[in-house]
Amino acid sequence: MFAAANIEAILLTIKLASVVTALLLLIGTPIAWWLANTHSRLKPAVEAVVALPIVLPPSVLGFYLLVAMGPHGPVGQITQALGLGTLPFTFTGLVVASVFYSLPFVVQPIQNAFAAIGPGLLEAAATLRATPRDRFFTVALPLARPGFVTAAVLGFAHTVGEFGVVLMVGGNIPGQTRVVSVQIYDHVEALEYGQAHELAILLMGFSFVTLFLLYAFNRRATMLRT
Amino acid sequence: MNELATRFRHAYPGFGLDVDLRLPARGVTAIFGPSGSGKTTLLRLIAGLEKATDGYLAVGDAVWQDADTFLPTHERPLGYVFQDARLFPHLDVRRNLDYGLSRIPTSSRKVALDDVIDLLGIGHLMERKPDRLSGGERQRVAIARALGVSPRLLLMDEPLAALDQARKQEVLPYLERLHDSLDIPVLYVSHAIDEVARLADHMLVLDAGRVVAQGPIIELMARADLRLSRDDAEGALIEAGVAAHDESYQLTTVEFPGGRLSLPRQARDVGQRVRVRVLARDVSITLAAQTGTSIINILPARITAVTAAGASQCVVSLDLGGTAILARVTRKSVDVLGLKPGLDVHAQIKGVALLK
């Protein structure tokens, strides 16, 4: 049903979103835990940095990432010294850019879920001999589960839906960086409206079903809690 | 372990705590005082849930906090019962109970959890999640969970305050049974004098972050100057023995140093120790023993103090010959009858409540 090039773009998109979501859960959880528990004066600053991608035009974020990861940028210097070359216009570069781009969509639901638990149950666990690490894994994590589901779904969906950052950092290399959103753009440029439509309707359906399932899950989770 | 020594000095926004205490580490010690007097803060400091800038805490020989030491909460061998139970909502009752138990070495398991489960009557709740429990059940599970870690000290922060009167009456007997069957010292925070009167052996009175008084509960409850009740419900406690039952009138007589009192028939054995409470407002004073009165409890007494209580009232401290009680009378009566320390009078006691 799909053209080979379209299938390649779809698979690449799924691969990118999966890798990025996994990384974001690993990176986002400690950030969210820190933000939910800290009284540090740095908290608003860190929250603002995490939330930046929500308001910044993707081109701005993409531009700075491009510069930073380029041959003369600080990140580029390090990757070159490590013998990795430079990241722009590679799949890895796209992953790094997407992690920044989707960070708030993962950190915020987890942070809210941690904050909602409050200190009370963790104190109770402490009086029952649980170490801080133990309390995190046996009380905080299980109780924050709905937040993690929301975070994973939003992180995945938002990565699938990115366009501007991909174009700035990843360019348009088939099998490397040409994800579905870029492929649609290509089709439209080439006046291949049929092909564009094929992918556009797919993304439309995917996004609706994903969000629908998420809201249905959250409703169930809320009802179970009360 | 027979003593808990603590000194905390800490300024909180709008409130400072400054206590220097030695408490007996046995029986139930009530920490009593109005809201905002620092009761809960003191308990949290003892548990290590809060850290005072200047603090010292030793339980028996073990120093939990001093200038160089601060044992984190999870390393302190204590149990803590919170006002709001704080059961883990994602675990059923069984796994809530196991949470603490599984985290202490087998060698230090001194409390048999099965006995505690029986004692608290929660055996039938094991498979339930906390949201399927009533308030009273939740609190009983929380108490069992805290005991599961075989604490050397049990801290209870108003465990009944969140419950309505009926639930309180449901949980109180369980607390009394714990007191009688477990040899674990308890610090019991409360602002309800009737709870304290039933449960405590020793009392610490706090006000505005400072210690107002501490001592055996019987002594403190007979002190008029402490103003322990804000709703005129102050009253002395008497430790007594059941002397006899009068089956025809359905009365029970209890005996104590200085006299006897009759109260409605109680299901107690002769010789059993009981604690009764005589509210000051149920005691009136006559200069001579009255005859022709319906009051059956009339005891000779000597006035030891007269304390003003508000514009129109006084609380008179009476010695029944070794046992102290309080009487609440009008200031006018004090003047008309010439009531003053040293005067021999008669106390007419209208009501006696059996507490335990």
Q: Cβ contact (<8 Å) for A129 and B47? A: no
Sign of CA dihedral B347, B349, B353, B356: positive
* Residue B111 confidence class, pLDDT cut points 50, 70, 90: confident
The answer to whether the Cβ–Cβ distance between A128 and B145 falls below 8 Å is: yes
Contact A144, A113 (CB under 8 A): yes
Measured between alpha carbons, how far is B46 from A100 in angstroms, rounded to an integer?
44
pLDDT in tens, B15-59: 889 999 999 888 899 999 988 899 999 999 999 999 888 899 999
- pLDDT level of residue A222 (50, 70, 90 thresholds): confident
Question: Is-contact B301 B318, C-beta < 8 A?
Answer: yes
pLDDT tens digits, one per residue of A176-187: 889 999 999 999
Domain boundaries, chain A: 4-225
A121, A132, A225: residue with CB nearest B88? A121
Q: Could you give the ipTM of this predicted complex?
A: 0.87
Terminus-to-terminus CA distance in chain A, angstroms?
Answer: 46
pLDDT digits (tens, 9 = 90+) for B141-166: 999 999 999 999 999 999 988 888 88
> Which one, of B64, B46, B54, lies nearest residue B16 by Cα?
B54
- The minimum CA-CA distance between A31 and chain B, rounded to whole Å, is 24
Q: Which residues of B touch A120 (CB under 8 A)?
A: 82, 84, 86
Residue A182: count other Cβ atoms within 10 Å of its Cβ.
22
Amino acid letter, residue B288: A
What value does the mean pLDDT of chain A take? 92
Domains of chain B, with CATH numbers? 3-221 (3.40.50.300), 235-354 (2.40.50.100)
What is the structure's pLDDT at B203? Answer: 94
Quick check: A124 and B79 CB within 8 A?
Answer: no
Contacts of A150 (CB under 8 A, 6+ apart): A109, A113, A214, A218
A20–chain B nearest CA distance, Å:
29
What confidence category does residue A224 fall into, taking pLDDT thresholds of 50, 70 and 90?
Answer: low
Q: Which of residues 286-315 of B touch A (CB under 8 A)?
A: none
User: Residue B178 has what pLDDT?
Assistant: 81
Pick the CATH number of A4-225 from 1.10.3720.10, 1.10.533.10, 3.90.79.10, 1.25.40.10: 1.10.3720.10
In tens, the pLDDT along A148-163 reads 999 999 999 999 999 9
The answer to which of A30-34, A84-88, B84-88, B263-267 has the lowest mean pLDDT is: A84-88
Q: Which residues pair with B347 in a beta bridge?
A: B285, B299
SS3 A133: helix
CB within 8 Å: B149 and A128? yes
B/e letters for B168-187, b = 16+ CB within 10 Å, e = fewer, are bebbbebbeebbeebebbbb
B77 residue type, one letter: P
Residue B216 pLDDT? 94
Structure confidence by residue, pLDDT tens digits, B241-250:
999 999 999 9
User: Could you tell me if A61 and A52 are in contact, meaning their C-beta atoms sit under 8 angstroms apart?
Assistant: yes
- Helix (H), strand (E) at residue B279: strand B273-279
Contact criterion met (CB < 8 Å) for B88 and A125? yes
| Terminal Cα-to-Cα distance of chain B (whole angstroms) | 27
B320 in Cβ contact with B272 (< 8 Å): no
| Residue among A39, A11, A19, A56 at smallest CA distance from A164 | A56
